[in-house]
């Protein structure tokens, strides 16, 4: 009787859980070695859930996304060089960003989408950049706080490579977190704790391009199911914050629009795979 109750309770818990992963096996691309985490679709409150964000993150609204796979790590230099062999992520004030296991940076939105297209053609799978809704769903991993580890910014250095006290030594005028993640610039991917879906570096390390065209009022215009803004606009959205950003930039709902040909030292990407 007790065993039955336990089983029923466990089943109910699974059923009411807003987000669940690993119900389906994860995917590893044999050509590049890229690992993808299966994310079961669902609905969540998208936007500035805690009221500490910018106007472009409001209104908070319910959004539903279908199942998808998302890369466990950001695309690394080694992975990107399989597509563009001469790619050089360069360095920042003498500190390299170009090691194989560091995330690929100085990749424009056009470069990132071209990489997804190349990978799709070579594997027969369907890869693309995540939509904003998918990205935030994967970042939140069922949480409603500003960051997937909670609202406390001081815990950042356990989960993310951010502008921290190490960075402060090099650039004293930066606004930083009051913790030490031991990396001044980008860290090798997966250096910090993942979120509850098992995805690494969803916040920090490098910004990540998404599929959506940037519109500051997109949340007033989009449908509830699988929204993606494709209206007029010259910018695409990047999410997640990077190693050079302080607390205001390291939040799951934070969104920034940038020109599609723009690339910089803390801007990379990760892909999603469509089941």
Partner 1 sequence: MYRKYLILILCPFAFLLLFAAISIGDEKPPIEKKGYIGADTCKGCHEIQYGTYSKTVHSKKSVRGPESQDACETCHGPGAKHVEKGGGRGVDIFDFRKNVDVKDRSAKCLSCHEETRQMASWNMSKHRMKGVACNDCHVVHSGGEKFLKSEESELCFGCHRDIKAQTYKQSHHPIKEGLIKCSSCHDVHGTFGSKQIKADTVNELCYTCHADKRGPYMWEHPPVQENCLTCHKAHGSNHYKLLNKRPPELCQSCHDWTQHPSSPYTSFDIFSSGHSNRMVARACLNCHSQIHGSNGPSARGLHFVR
> What residue ranges bind partner 1 (CB under 8 A)?
54, 92, 163, 171, 173-175, 207, 235, 238, 241-242, 244-249, 254, 256-258, 264-266
Enter the tokens of residue 183. 């990396």
Contacts by 17-23, CB closer than 8 A, 24 or more apart: 17/142, 18/42, 18/43, 18/44, 18/142, 19/44, 19/137, 19/140, 19/141, 19/142, 19/197, 21/197, 21/198, 22/198
Least separation in angstroms between residue 90's CB and partner 1 is 11
Alpha carbon separation from 59 to 46, 200, 217, 232, 239 (Å, rounded): 9, 28, 9, 20, 18
* Rounded Cα distance, 26 and 71, in Å: 10
Enter the tokens of residue 157. 């250095």
* Rounded Cα distance, 77 and 89, in Å: 7
Least separation in angstroms between residue 76's CB and partner 1 is 21
Least separation in angstroms between residue 172's CB and partner 1 is 9
Least separation in angstroms between residue 59's CB and partner 1 is 19
Residue 254 or 273 with smaller CB distance to partner 1: 254
The half-sphere exposure of 135 on its side-chain side, counting CA atoms within 13 A, is: 31
Residue 133 or 267 with smaller CB distance to partner 1: 267
Residue 10 or 174 with smaller CB distance to partner 1: 174
Residue pair 257/267 in contact by the 8 Å Cβ criterion: no
Least separation in angstroms between residue 156's CB and partner 1 is 13
Residue 38 or 92 with smaller CB distance to partner 1: 92
Residue 130 or 242 with smaller CB distance to partner 1: 242
**6 three-class SS:** helix
Least separation in angstroms between residue 266's CB and partner 1 is 8
Least separation in angstroms between residue 258's CB and partner 1 is 7
Closest CA to 270 of 206, 215, 227, 221: 206
Residue 147 or 273 with smaller CB distance to partner 1: 147
* Rounded Cα distance, 21 and 70, in Å: 11
Least separation in angstroms between residue 83's CB and partner 1 is 24
DSSP annotation of 119: H
Residue 23 or 95 with smaller CB distance to partner 1: 95
Radius of gyration for the alpha carbons in the chain, expressed in angstroms and rounded: 18
Residue 227 or 263 with smaller CB distance to partner 1: 263
């Amino acid at each position: 009787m007790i065993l039955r109750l336990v089983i029923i309770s466990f089943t109910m818990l699974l059923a009411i859980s807003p987000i669940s992963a690993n119900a389906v096996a994860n995917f590893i691309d044999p050509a590049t070695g890229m690992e993808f985490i299966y994310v079961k679709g669902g609905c969540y409150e998208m936007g500035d859930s805690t009221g500490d964000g910018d106007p472009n993150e409001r209104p908070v609204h319910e959004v539903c996304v279908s199942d998808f796979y998302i890369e466990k790590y950001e695309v690394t230099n080694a992975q990107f060089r399989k597509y563009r062999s001469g790619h050089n992520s360069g360095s920042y004030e003498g500190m390299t960003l170009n090691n194989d296991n560091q995330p690929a940076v100085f990749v424009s939105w056009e470069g990132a989408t071209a990489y997804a297209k190349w990978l799709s053609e070579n594997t027969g799978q369907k890869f693309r950049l995540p939509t904003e809704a998918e990205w935030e769903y994967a970042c939140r991993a069922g949480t409603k706080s500003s960051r997937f580890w909670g609202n406390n910014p001081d815990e950042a250095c356990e989960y993310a490579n951010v502008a921290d006290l190490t960075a402060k030594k090099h650039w004293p005028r930066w606004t930083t977190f009051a913790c030490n993640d031991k990396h001044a610039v980008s860290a090798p991917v997966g250096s910090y704790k993942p979120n509850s879906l098992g995805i690494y570096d969803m916040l920090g390390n490098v910004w990540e391009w998404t599929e959506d065209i940037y519109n500051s009022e997109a949340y007033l215009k989009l449908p509830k199911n699988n929204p993606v803004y494709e209206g007029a606009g010259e910018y695409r959205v990047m999410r997640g914050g990077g190693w050079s950003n302080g607390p205001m930039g390291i939040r799951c709902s934070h969104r920034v629009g940038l020109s599609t040909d723009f690339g910089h030292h803390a801007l990379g990407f990760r892909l999603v795979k469509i089941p």
